[in-house]
C-alpha cells in the first residue's frame, strides 16, 4: 500500500469515527452503567453480565467469540464463587496479514457516590469535554476504542489490514484469577498464530503528550512477624520487664531504608543494570510536570529535585515502601496493651535483572542479622506471600515503530517512551507465555484518575484513541509486510 493511498484510507476512517463519535460515547455509557466490580463478591453477577455485553459487541462485528468458563474460586469464608468467563474472540484469518492479539478487561474497582465522587460513578457524565465514570479509562474506554476502530473498517467495507485476536477478562482488578492457566492451555491452539500482543491498560505520563510504555517494575511483598507469647499483656504489669515485640519490629522496619530512600539491604542493588547513554537520552525529551506531580501527591518535597532523577527512581531503580503493622492497636485513643504478636508489611518494587528468589534471600538474611544483634528472646518469621516480576521490552521492534507512526499521524507529535513504576503482571505474563512482542499502548491521560474518585477519560482521548488504533492497524500491516518481503528476499539470495 502506497503512502498516498494509506493517507486517503486514514482520512476516510477518521471521518467515520468523527461522525459516529456520539454513538461511541453512548456505548461507553452503556458499559459504564454496569457495576462490574470484581472485588466485591455480591457484584459478581454484574461482572458476568458485562462479559456477555462485551461478547455481543464483538459478535456484531462478525467475530467468532468463545466465552471460556474458568470455574469458581473460594472466598475467605469458604464460599465458592463463580469466576466470570474470559472472552477469546477472533476476527480474520488472512495468511497474508499479521495477527495482532489485543488484551483488555471490563471489570472495575469499587466506587460509591459518597466516596467523594462529584457525579454518579455508574452514570457516564460529560463535563467540560471529560467523560466521568468508573471504568471510563480503566479499562472500558480503551477496550471500546479498539473495538470502535475495528468497527470503522467493517462499516466502510474496507479490507481488514490485520487479523484480530481478543482476550477480554473480568477479574483483572482482583488478580486475573485463572488467566495465566488459560493462556498456557491455549498457547498452542488459540494463540498459535499470534504475531504481536497489544495491551491498552495504563496511562500516559503527561496530560497532553502521548506515551508508549515499554517496561514496569515488579513487586515483592513481605511480612515480618515478631511474637513473644500467646496473649496480649498489660503494660502496667509487664512493661519494662519483657522484650516487647513492637520494639523489635520497629527496629527491623527502621533498618530497611534510609532517609534518602536508599534500601539498606546488602546486595539489593547488585543486579540493577547500569544506565546507558542511549537510555539516559530517552529521559531528556519526556514531558513530565514535576510540580504538578508534587501537587497531586499533596507532599511538600520529593527526595530528588530533577525530572530525570525522579523518573529514574520511579522506573529503573528499586524502591522499598512500608505499608503497615498488623496486630497493633490502631483505633482512636490509647489502649495500654503490649501486643503478643505484630506483623510488619512492606514491599520492594524490583526492576529487570533482579531475581525474586535472590531478593527474598537478601531480605531474610538482612532481617535475621539485625534481629540476632538485638539478643531478643522473641520469635521472628519472615515471609514473601506475593512476588510479581518486572517487565521490559525493546522499543525498536515493529510494534513500537508502527504505534509511533500512528501517534504521529493522529496527534501530530512523537510519543514519549515511558516505563511504569507500578507492576503490570499481564504484560510479563503474555511475554513469557507467548514469546512474542508485547506493547503497552495507552490512550488515557495522566490525570484520568484510574482507581480514584472522579475517574474519567476525555472525549478527545477516547475518539482520537479510536483513530490511533485504526492508524496502528494500517501501520503494523505495512511494517509486517515489509519485514516479510525483506526476509523472503534474503532467503532467496
* Catalytic option among 10, 37, 90, 107: 107
Model's pTM, two decimal places? 0.89
pLDDT at 73: 93
Mean pLDDT of 369-393: 96
How many Cα neighbours within 13 Å face the side chain of 313?
A: 15
Query: What's the whole-number mean pLDDT along residues 381-405?
Result: 95
pLDDT at 489: 53
In this prediction, what percent of the chain has a pLDDT beyond 90?
A: 88
Q: What is the pLDDT of residue 486?
A: 67
Instruction: Report the range of poorest mean pLDDT among 3-17, 111-125, 214-228, 233-247.
Output: 3-17
Asked which of 91-95, 142-146, 306-310, 486-490 is least confident by mean pLDDT, the reply is 486-490
Provide the grid cell at 70: 474458568
pLDDT given at position 315:
94
What is the per-residue pLDDT for 1? 56
Residue for grid cell 462490574: 36
List domains and CATH numbers for the chain: 3-216+390-492 (3.40.630.10), 219-272+317-388 (3.30.70.360)
172 carries an active-site annotation: yes
Tens of pLDDT, residues 142-177 = 999 999 999 999 999 999 999 999 999 999 999 999
Dihedral sign, CA of 284, 289, 290, 296? Answer: negative
Per the CB < 8 A criterion, the answer to whether 304 and 310 are in contact is yes
Contact 439/196 with Cβ under 8 angstroms?
yes
| φ and ψ at residue 126, rounded to 5 degrees | -95, 125
Q: What is the mean pLDDT of residues 88-94?
A: 97
Q: Give me the mean pLDDT over the 366-392 stretch.
A: 96
Our answer to whether residue 37 is catalytic in this structure is no
Amino acid at each position: 500500500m502506497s503512502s498516498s493511498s494509506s493517507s486517503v484510507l486514514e482520512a476516510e476512517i477518521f471521518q467515520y469515527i468523527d461522525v459516529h463519535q456520539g454513538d461511541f460515547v453512548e456505548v461507553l455509557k452503556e458499559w459504564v452503567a454496569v457495576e462490574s466490580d470484581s472485588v466485591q463478591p455480591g457484584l459478581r453477577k454484574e461482572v458476568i453480565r458485562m462479559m456477555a455485553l462485551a461478547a455481543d459487541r464483538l459478535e456484531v462485528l462478525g467475530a467468532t467469540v468463545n466465552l471460556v468458563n474458568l470455574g469458581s474460586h473460594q472466598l475467605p469464608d469458604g464460599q465458592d464463587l463463580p469466576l466470570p468467563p474470559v472472552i477469546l474472540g477472533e476476527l480474520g484469518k488472512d495468511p497474508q496479514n499479521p495477527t495482532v492479539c489485543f488484551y483488555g478487561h471490563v471489570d472495575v474497582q469499587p466506587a460509591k457516590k459518597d466516596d467523594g465522587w462529584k457525579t454518579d460513578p455508574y452514570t457516564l457524565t460529560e463535563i467540560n469535554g471529560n467523560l466521568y465514570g468508573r471504568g471510563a479509562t480503566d479499562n472500558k474506554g480503551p477496550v471500546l476504542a479498539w473495538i470502535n476502530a475495528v468497527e470503522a473498517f467493517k462499516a466502510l467495507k474496507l479490507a481488514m489490514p490485520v487479523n484480530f485476536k481478543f482476550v477480554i477478562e473480568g477479574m483483572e482488578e482482583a488478580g486475573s484469577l485463572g488467566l495465566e492457566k488459560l493462556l498456557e492451555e491455549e498457547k498452542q491452539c488459540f494463540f498459535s498464530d499470534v504475531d504481536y500482543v497489544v495491551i491498552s491498560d495504563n496511562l500516559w505520563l503527561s496530560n497532553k503528550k502521548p506515551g508508549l510504555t515499554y517496561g514496569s517494575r515488579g513487586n515483592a511483598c513481605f511480612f515480618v512477624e515478631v511474637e513473644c507469647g500467646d496473649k496480649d499483656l498489660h503494660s502496667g504489669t509487664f512493661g519494662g520487664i519483657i522484650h516487647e515485640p513492637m520494639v523489635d519490629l520497629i527496629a527491623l522496619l527502621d533498618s530497611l531504608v534510609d532517609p534518602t530512600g536508599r534500601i539498606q539491604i546488602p546486595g539489593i542493588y547488585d543486579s540493577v543494570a547500569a544506565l546507558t547513554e542511549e537510555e539516559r537520552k530517552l529521559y531528556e525529551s519526556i514531558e513530565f510536570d514535576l510540580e504538578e506531580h508534587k501537587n497531586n501527591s499533596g507532599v511538600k518535597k520529593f527526595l530528588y529535585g530533577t525530572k530525570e532523577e525522579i523518573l529514574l527512581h520511579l522506573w529503573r531503580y528499586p524502591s522499598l515502601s512500608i505499608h503497615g503493622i498488623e496486630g497493633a492497636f490502631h483505633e482512636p485513643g490509647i489502649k495500654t496493651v503490649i501486643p503478643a504478636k505484630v506483623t510488619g508489611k512492606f514491599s520492594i518494587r524490583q526492576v529487570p535483572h533482579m531475581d525474586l528468589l535472590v531478593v527474598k534471600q537478601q531480605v531474610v538474611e538482612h532481617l535475621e542479622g539485625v534481629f540476632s544483634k538485638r539478643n531478643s528472646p522473641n520469635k521472628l518469621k519472615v515471609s514473601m506471600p506475593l512476588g510479581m516480576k518486572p517487565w521490559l521490552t525493546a522499543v525498536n521492534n515493529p510494534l513500537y515503530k508502527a504505534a509511533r507512526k500512528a501517534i504521529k499521524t493522529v496527534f501530530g507529535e512523537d510519543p514519549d517512551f515511558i516505563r511504569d513504576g507500578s507492576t503490570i503482571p499481564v504484560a510479563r505474563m503474555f511475554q513469557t507465555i507467548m514469546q512474542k512482542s508485547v506493547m503497552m499502548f495507552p490512550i488515557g491521560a495522566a490525570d484520568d484518575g484510574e482507581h480514584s474518585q472522579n475517574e474519567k477519560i476525555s472525549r478527545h482521548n477516547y475518539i482520537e484513541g479510536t483513530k490511533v488504533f485504526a492508524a496502528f492497524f494500517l501501520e503494523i500491516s505495512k511494517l509486517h509486510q515489509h519485514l516479510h518481503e525483506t526476509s523472503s528476499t534474503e532467503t532467496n539470495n
